[in-house]
Chains A and B, each alone.
Chain A
């Protein structure tokens, strides 16, 4: 019992410690493509440490919920990450339907971010919230289609079961669909530009303009955990990790996550942010990709 708890804590620590590495790698890739030196890979760790020690400037309009919401959102994202199996290590707490809990925990985090954004009464933050909740309607459909295709393919309903075999013939479709969802959910180019400083064109950054100090640290860290979560999900959904020996599987998982993150960096270097009117079409495309993956899984199972 104690060993299980210790093991769980250890895994959680791994998630929390590794996550801030990802944005650093993306920035390094972008700098490398642009021929710059770029910020250090560990930059986010420094930022988080500094923010954690800083004071907080609160909007005069903000209620106690303004500080509570980032905390709830952080717990939700970390909880969702804790549900995810890690290749050969499996899941700490696998149960039927945990994949739906994961989706809805991410929704809870979204609710908190949006609520906190609207607390400030700022037009910019309103803008960001509108985009966030509206695009989520389409991403939710894409994620559910992807999950359904995994469930139908594997015949299971828990993350540990559906992520073990590869996505079969629909793997390429699923990979493309889920990668697009990853970009949208984590507010990366071409949906959002995390580096821009023009509030009118941002989604996630626009929603957190008024956060500062430890709550901002919680938000930034939560966002990095979410990015890691989606990368791990994508890699496990597409690659048949169950077919490899534990050591190889771990290596493949780590390599896959790294490749995904480098991919995000490359996309960001080579592509400009889309006009907001085009975003729904791209998200619909992601949904259709996942839907076709579902059809392939359905056909594959019937044969």
Chain B
């Protein structure tokens, strides 16, 4: 019963936020934080097993259907993340998107923020297909208004349009999915009972496409980079940290509830591997800090899908334990990616706030001015690269264990899991490269332009949420075994065969101890080395540049040159646009080299298809010109054709 009242409190808080948002910023922040804390408590109550599930059905009809809400462990996992990011983002926006800086859009931003969080929460608890679609649409639209909060920029409007168009292609698939499901089962009710209706299996593909657009599965991710880059940073954080996860939620939810076709696991794991490697290859080649983060989300959704695909394969092969391990890794990665990606987007937002640019080739040397942001961004970079002792490693390690175990078990599935494990390793190495680049080029070295001269640290309301998220990343890294029962419960809700209450594997405990020891040793070693260097004497001098007398900031490696080598290996995929003017003659006049990595999938793949559709539509549109006479002619011709058809059928 506690869960129900907590959820109602949360909903009330967010509804109050809708009302208060436009005018009263402080009250809004208070009720939003209160609401998210209540929903976090509700989620933890279910995850910790105090209450198994919570269900509620109304006695009135909305759109001809009785409202039906169901809150189980899977919903709780996602709601917990939504609460953390929703609350942290609200706090962050207090200074970042304040009434003082954005008098016109700040109030609107608060309104839509409450709406977005509320609608995502509603999607998570809906157990009626029709209402699910309504909540889904409202969530999509709220996100659109948040992306286009600063709607004067052309790029922002274009990004918003692209997002809206892509989302609706996905929604169209979902309409088809839910409607077909309703017609085959005779009701809009959603639930584990769907599993018994074998006729629903082919709908899996429709579901995967529909939710895949929102989740940003490669190559359906086309809306993602520009929307994330151009939205205000706290919005990018919730888009990347949570909105993508709502897509993942859909896939997790319905792959658990629906009967799955035999190829499902193979396809999902392949999509995951492709997304992980290609997503991070694109990320590494970006010059825009927020675009890099956005593409990295494509990679991380790929990692989650790898785990989920392995879980589907495991479930199809006699509910093998390695499938459960991979699933737990994937679900934990949902949390982890949400936490560190929100942290990194907040960091990028602070940089943008302080310097006015997202271009890494114009940044650099920010750490003396923004020490907190720099260190927290570095922490997030270590976490997102999947390095011990932080949380990213824990989830990737669990997924690896699942993949390796499948190989060791010598099942046919190993033909998928072993290559995928290798791909995951390569993606990890590229992620490390991308984030060494993103962090170090932004915050270290010499300032590349004068923009950084007036940079300043963000206020306490901007740093505070980042500290909370960073602490969460560290805590999950140091105490992974504590989360096992929570996530295990979610895995049990996904596949009842895996619903066994067991203690965390001993290796996870040991990993936690090793991480703690590592953290302690790291701190100790840093202190010793610093102490030793100071007692020996520290002297400052110019960076050694081979005795060159006049080094300038422009001689540093830039974002493009740093990525040059590895993205050269992916040129067939990235298709960079190059303009080169080589120096000629003994006294060359001008030489330049411009290189840009376009939105390749959008411009080279989706673009031409869209143009083709548009051309056909334009041609067909000529038939519709408003002349009544011709319309009557169409009718007569149509009737004649029908009559002919009937006559011919009689003769044949």
> Does A155 count as interface, using CB distance less than 8 angstroms?
yes
Interface pairs (25), CB distance under 8 Å: A55-B533, A57-B539, A58-B539, A58-B540, A61-B446, A63-B374, A65-B378, A71-B528, A96-B401, A100-B397, A111-B385, A115-B439, A118-B557, A120-B445, A123-B545, A123-B556, A123-B557, A126-B562, A133-B436, A133-B566, A137-B433, A137-B566, A144-B421, A218-B529, A280-B569
Interchain residue pairs A-B with the least CB separation, the first 7: A126-B557, A121-B445, A118-B440, A55-B537, A133-B433, A71-B525, A144-B425
Nearest opposing residue in chain B for A290, CB measure = B422
> Does A196 count as interface, using CB distance less than 8 angstroms?
no
Interface string of B402-444 (1 = CB under 8 A from A): 0011011010001000100110011011101101110111011
Find out whether the CB atom of B518 lies under 8 angstroms from the CB atom of A79: yes
Find out whether the CB atom of A96 lies under 8 angstroms from the CB atom of B569: no
Given A71-B522, A97-B400, A156-B408: A52 and B444 interface contact (C-beta under 8 Å): no
Interface string of A188-210 (1 = CB under 8 A from B): 00000000000100000000011
Find out whether the CB atom of B522 lies under 8 angstroms from the CB atom of A137: no
Interface string of A133-153 (1 = CB under 8 A from B): 110111111011100100110
Task: Give min CB distance, B529 to chain A, whole Å.
Answer: 4
Contact size class for A?
A: 35 or more
Task: Give min CB distance, B281 to chain A, whole Å.
Answer: 10
Nearest opposing residue in chain B for A214, CB measure = B532
Judged by DSSP, the binding face of B is helix
**Residues in B116-148 with C-beta less than 8 Å from chain A:** none
Chain B residues whose CB sits within 8 angstroms of the CB of A16 once the complex forms:
none
**Segment of B347-355, B361-369, B456-464, B629-637 in the binding face:** B361-369
**Segment of B15-23, B37-45, B73-81, B504-512 in the binding face:** B504-512
Chain B residues whose CB sits within 8 angstroms of the CB of A130 once the complex forms:
557, 561-562, 564-565
> Does A74 count as interface, using CB distance less than 8 angstroms?
yes
Task: Give min CB distance, A78 to chain B, whole Å.
Answer: 8
> Does B616 count as interface, using CB distance less than 8 angstroms?
no
A-B contacts counted at CB < 8 A amount to: 245
> Does A95 count as interface, using CB distance less than 8 angstroms?
yes
Please give the residue numbers on chain B whose beta carbons come within 8 Å of chain A beta carbons, in ascending order: 364-365, 367-368, 374, 378, 382, 385-388, 393, 397, 400-401, 404-405, 407-408, 410, 414, 418, 421-422, 425-426, 428-430, 432-433, 435-437, 439-441, 443-446, 505-507, 510-511, 514, 518, 521-522, 525-526, 528-530, 532-533, 536-546, 551, 553, 555-557, 561-562, 564-566, 569
Find out whether the CB atom of B543 lies under 8 angstroms from the CB atom of A108: no
CB within 8 A of B428: which of A52, A107, A301?
A107
CA distance A218 to B533 in the complex (A): 11
Interface string of A34-56 (1 = CB under 8 A from B): 00000000000000000011111
Find out whether the CB atom of A68 lies under 8 angstroms from the CB atom of B440: no
Apart from the given pairs A96-B401, A157-B405, A209-B544, 18 other A-B contacts in the complex at a CB distance below 8 Å: A58-B540, A59-B543, A61-B444, A71-B526, A75-B518, A97-B507, A100-B397, A101-B511, A103-B425, A111-B385, A111-B387, A118-B436, A119-B445, A122-B545, A126-B561, A141-B425, A151-B404, A214-B533
Task: Give min CB distance, B411 to chain A, whole Å.
Answer: 11
**Residues in A217-258 with C-beta less than 8 Å from chain B:** 218
Chain B residues whose CB sits within 8 angstroms of the CB of A157 once the complex forms:
401, 404-405, 408
Chain B residues whose CB sits within 8 angstroms of the CB of A114 once the complex forms:
436, 440
Given A67-B530, A96-B505: A53 and B440 interface contact (C-beta under 8 Å): no
Given A140-B426, A213-B533: A72 and B388 interface contact (C-beta under 8 Å): no
CA distance A214 to B538 in the complex (A): 11
Chain A residues whose CB sits within 8 angstroms of the CB of B565 once the complex forms:
130-131, 134
